[in-house]
Structure 1
Amino acid sequence: MDIEPNLIISSASQRIVEDGVPFKVDIYKLEGGDGWSLEVVTEDGTSIVWDDLFDDDRAAFQEAVITIRKEGAVAFATGESNVIPFGR
């Protein structure tokens, strides 16, 4: 039987508020994995996951903040603009 790898959650993961809109930024990787995954969860539970992995967890966090600011917090949270949220 194969043993499942542990999930490592970065200390860079945190809740942030941009323009009054709350977001949960989750940064994680599989133990022994080659990169950090980035997921931003909106207040209504919509999850946006980046396709690319990040070499550094701090770079992943910076990407989340930059993207939210570039798209606009409200547009990002409501799926407007070019953000395509996953269905629930």
Structure 2
Amino acid sequence: MKREPNLIISSASQHIVVDGVPFKVDICKLEGGDGWSLEVVTEDGTSIVWDDLFDDDQAAFQEALTTIRKEGPKAFVRGDSNIIPFKR
């Protein structure tokens, strides 16, 4: 039986605060995988996951920072006008 790969959590994963709004930045990859996955989680639990993988964990972290600063932290908070909720 083939063993499932381990999940590698990057040391670049961390809690950050931008303009007073807290975020959790999670960066991980599967053991032996080709790229790093990026997820940003807001204080209220809203999760934003990038579709593309990153060559290294620092590039993923920089993308999170750049996007939060460019879009504005309030754009990530649930209930903002640019958030489209999943249909139920």
TM-score w.r.t. structure 2 length?
A: 0.88
Tell me the residue number matched to 2:5: 5
Structure 1's 7 and 79: CA in aligned 2 closer, same or farther, altered over 3 A?
A: farther
Q: CA RMSD in A?
A: 1.9
Structure 1's 86 and 6: CA in aligned 2 closer, same or farther, altered over 3 A?
A: farther
Are 2:80 and 1:80 equivalent residues in the alignment?
A: yes
Structure 1's 59 and 86: CA in aligned 2 closer, same or farther, altered over 3 A?
A: farther
1:15–1:23: 8 Å Cα contact kept in structure 2?
yes
How far off is 1:76 after superposition?
Answer: 1.8
TM-score w.r.t. structure 1 length?
A: 0.88
Larger Rg: 2
1:48–1:86: 8 Å Cα contact kept in structure 2?
no
Q: Given residue 49 of structure 1, which amino acid in structure 2 is its aligned partner? A: V
List alignment gaps of at least 5 residues for structure 1.
Answer: none
Structure 1's 49 and 85: CA in aligned 2 closer, same or farther, altered over 3 A?
A: farther
